[in-house]
Structure 1
Amino acid sequence: MTRRRILCTAAFLAVTGLLTACAGNGPGAAGAQGSDNPQNVRVYLASDTNIQELWEDTLIPAFTAANPDIGVEVQFDLHGNNQTQTVAKLAAADAQGADPGIDIVEGDPAQQAGAADLLVDPAGLIPGLSAVAPDIVAAAGPGAVPYRASSVLLAYDSTKVPNPPRTLDELLAWIKANPGQFTYNSPKTGGSGQAFVTTVLDKFVPPDVRAQMTTGYHKDLESHWDEGWRTLQELNQYVFQGGVYPNGNNGTLELLASGQVSMSPVWSDQFLTGQRNGTIPPTVKALQISDPPFTGGATPIGIVKASDRQENAAKLIDFLLQPAQQQAIAEKIAGYPVIPLDQLSEEVRTAFGDARPDQLRPTYFTDHKNDLNNLWDQLVPGH
């Protein structure tokens, strides 16, 4: 049987919210008997390119080798730019009893879909979920299953910054004392920049208020961000080239690796992968700040309630939670495993011994993150 991987970038009809998947026939692709096969699982990914590569090059080939009658079709949406339309599409399909065109949703849209009661309760469907700590599962939200985790760290050029800041206040002071040597990407284009913005805003948000904003949508509470926006506005003149923000997580890493800046927030998985493959020099180090630390946590994935392929979707998600795939996630993208480390190799146990996803500081609820992205565009650049 010929296997094909269906690789495409999702195309969306802006008015209707309908999604059209582009099917490809590249060599080594995964898909049993074509994209119209009802046994195939259709996965929507709202992530960065490293996650796309993880699925295409590692997770899908392993799954289809173990399940040759089930293909996997990927609908890839870079940075989740069309996630609002996607969730609306799932809601419409659920209400109409129609085929949603998606069986599994990943990333922030999984949290949104779960909150809207659009995901299947995974209890009893996914045996591997029993290996994941209950608090990690709870943080993923209703119907969602955590399958990988990471956090944002502060990366710095150790040849230029022998004593890096270790708290948020120290970092803000360092940025002002070293004009042009710090940057972060615009939050709408990547999570590392979003984590920096979130952490600055959090400096002025009471803990009880923040707890509400991480588990649900309370727009009136966003007034607590006002002082944080003023702080970010004041930083404009001190960031790279007096207020130039890179596009995406990779854009930030490239400026840091090339020596154009000396410090920036980075995703733990992208940073460790870059050091492993040599794109980030060994002189660039990373640490976690405190008071507060940068955000992080587990990425959710869930089975769409309107899907008629739930059984195969559950097989795929359960497969992701098995030790071999958790090991692959750690090795390929330096993602934090969500199952106990004692189920993985000694190398992974050593590398991630201090990585505790259940202790990572969660980011805001998806709707608050969307507001944060839009408000940053309006309030920060150029002010």
Structure 2
Amino acid sequence: MKFPLVLVLSLLATPALADWQQNLDAARGQTVYWNAWGGDARTNAFIAWVGEQTEALYDVGVAQVKLTDTAEAVTRVISEKAAGQDTGGSVDLIWINGPNFLAMKEQGLLHGPFVNDLPNARYLDLGPASPASVDFTVPVDGLESPWRQAKFVFTYNSTRVAKPPRSMAAFVEWAAANPGRFTHPDPSNFMGSTFLKQALIELAPDVSILQKPVTDAGFDAATAPLWDWYDALRPNLWRGGETYPENQSVQQQLLNDGEVDIAMSFDPASTAAAIADGLLPDSARVFVPESGSIGNISFVAIPYNAANAEGAEVVANFLLDPVTQAHMQNIEVLGSFSVLDPSRLDDAAKAAFADLPTAPALPTLAELGPTLLEPHASWMSRLTEEWARRYIK
């Protein structure tokens, strides 16, 4: 779906804050070097579209610096600071999350706070417990701006599974009734560790402890029910739990080949996209646990020494426009769910989302349920290490 330029302009041209026009004037003619993971063609195409729009609207260009690892950009900023290059830096905008954000925040490498200065921030829920305000338990403090949402979901073959398990605890009973028809990626892979974290959040006696750095005593108490659950689940996994798919793509292939009935993803739109690409059967559908599932938000941050900080703010603001977010959520474009708070949208913005194309395997925002916060990053390494100690011989 392409949105007419005049429609975008009508939503963006009026500054929400008195000094926003000054920022627009300073940004004119700048090219923003957006350092972003370059491994997904649809994301790259969306970033190129963003650049076309900001160039036409504001004379602000976007040049994507395609990364294989976000740490590449972080290292570049650290090196520039060590060399005394406190202005004119080579990185203007970074797609960033988690440990990389924490590292830059702790070392004073970020521009801002700037998010509250963006006119389109009025569409965000920036409450202290909102996913838009917390990045892997680290308070954002206005130093990075959200732009796309990820959420953990399960994919199942609806011709074989009439009632998928709607809680992590229920997977034990389901797997016992359907031995060999479920597995998960190896927890050394992000998707496999997310599966364990999802179960940990549901089963931990005190979930609040997961938002704090892990301790030995806290880890033992929180994970005891998890290991009991996994001990009951493992014998009925695919190949008896003796081997695991390397990653999400391999497990998706197992689902497509009919070897398993359930797979998983961190992209709610990935199932519909895979069906369209012939990578999953038309009968594939999405479900999430009734209590919700882990979600996180992808952010953009501006380094402290960015050469084009004003232009980077313009791009960050454009990413938050409801029309931009609706374009991004379009399954034919990117399919990433919006970071905006639906209750803050006006009728025109709500209509932009309501008019998006649908697909049988594309869940609605309501169907995705509550978003559960990621545990503190220190829990992930302890969790995967302990899993390997217990189950890898």
Distance in structure 1 (CA, Å) of the matches to 2:146 and 2:181: 36
**1:164 equivalenced with 2:152 (yes/no):** no
Partner of 1:131: 123
**1:105 equivalenced with 2:94 (yes/no):** yes
**1:60 equivalenced with 2:48 (yes/no):** yes
Matches within 5 A, 1:261-340: 261-267=260-266, 268-290=268-290, 292-331=291-330, 332-339=333-340, 340=342
How far did residue 186 of structure 1 move?
Answer: 2.6
1:96 and 1:357, CA in 2 relative to 1: closer, same or farther beyond 3 A? Answer: farther
Distance in structure 1 (CA, Å) of the matches to 2:232 and 2:253: 25
Partner of 2:198: 199
1:359 and 1:200, CA in 2 relative to 1: closer, same or farther beyond 3 A? Answer: closer
SS in 2 for 1:133: coil
How far did residue 297 of structure 1 move?
Answer: 3.1
Distance in structure 1 (CA, Å) of the matches to 2:237 and 2:207: 28
Matches within 5 A, 1:164-183: 164-183=164-183
1:368 and 1:59, CA in 2 relative to 1: closer, same or farther beyond 3 A? Answer: same
* 1:223 aligned residue (207, 220, 225): 220
**1:45 equivalenced with 2:45 (yes/no):** no
**Residues 151, 295 of structure 1: 8 Å contact kept:** yes
Distance in structure 1 (CA, Å) of the matches to 2:164 and 2:119: 44
**Residues 336, 357 of structure 1: 8 Å contact kept:** no
Distance in structure 2 (CA, Å) of the matches to 1:358 and 1:158: 20
Matches within 5 A, 1:245-256: 245-256=244-255
**Residues 292, 370 of structure 2: 8 Å contact kept:** no
Q: Which amino acid aligns with 1:122?
A: F
Detail structure 1 runs of 4+ shifted over 6 Å in the superposition: 349-352
Q: Which amino acid aligns with 2:392?
A: G
* 2:65 aligned residue (61, 74, 81): 74
Distance in structure 1 (CA, Å) of the matches to 2:309 and 2:378: 27
How far did residue 180 of structure 1 move?
Answer: 2.0
Partner of 1:379: 389
Alignment: residue pair count: 332
**Residues 172, 232 of structure 2: 8 Å contact kept:** no
Partner of 1:34: none
Q: What's the TM-score once normalised by structure 1's chain length?
A: 0.74
CA-based RMSD: 3.3
SS in 1 for 2:94: strand
1:172 and 1:95, CA in 2 relative to 1: closer, same or farther beyond 3 A? Answer: farther
Distance in structure 1 (CA, Å) of the matches to 2:72 and 2:205: 30
Q: Which amino acid aligns with 1:151?
A: K
How far did residue 295 of structure 1 move?
Answer: 0.9
Q: Which amino acid aligns with 2:220?
A: S
**Residues 147, 320 of structure 1: 8 Å contact kept:** yes
Q: Deviations over 1:252-272 (max 9, x none)?
A: 222212211111222312123
How far did residue 197 of structure 1 move?
Answer: 0.9
How far did residue 361 of structure 1 move?
Answer: 0.7
Distance in structure 1 (CA, Å) of the matches to 2:168 and 2:374: 16
> Which structure would you say has the larger Rg?
2
Partner of 2:114: 122
1:352 and 1:306, CA in 2 relative to 1: closer, same or farther beyond 3 A? Answer: farther
1:61 and 1:218, CA in 2 relative to 1: closer, same or farther beyond 3 A? Answer: same
**Residues 40, 71 of structure 1: 8 Å contact kept:** yes
With CA pairs under 8 Å and 6+ residues apart, which has the higher RCO, 1 or 2?
A: 2
**Residues 154, 286 of structure 2: 8 Å contact kept:** yes
Q: Deviations over 1:48-81 (max 9, x none)?
A: x4xx32332123234235416624122322xxxx
Gap runs ≥5 in structure 2: 1-28
How far did residue 364 of structure 1 move?
Answer: 2.0
% identical equivalent positions: 18
Q: Which amino acid aligns with 2:145?
A: V
Partner of 1:239: 237
Partner of 1:17: none
Distance in structure 2 (CA, Å) of the matches to 1:372 and 1:90: 31
Q: Which amino acid aligns with 2:146?
A: P
Q: Which amino acid aligns with 2:123?
A: A
Distance in structure 2 (CA, Å) of the matches to 1:46 and 1:370: 23
Q: Which amino acid aligns with 2:237?
A: V
Distance in structure 1 (CA, Å) of the matches to 2:353 and 2:365: 15
**Residues 54, 329 of structure 1: 8 Å contact kept:** no
How far did residue 273 of structure 1 move?
Answer: 2.1
Once the two structures are overlaid, the 10-residue window that deviates more, 167-176 or 357-366, is 357-366
Q: What's the TM-score once normalised by structure 2's chain length?
A: 0.72
Gap runs ≥5 in structure 1: 1-37
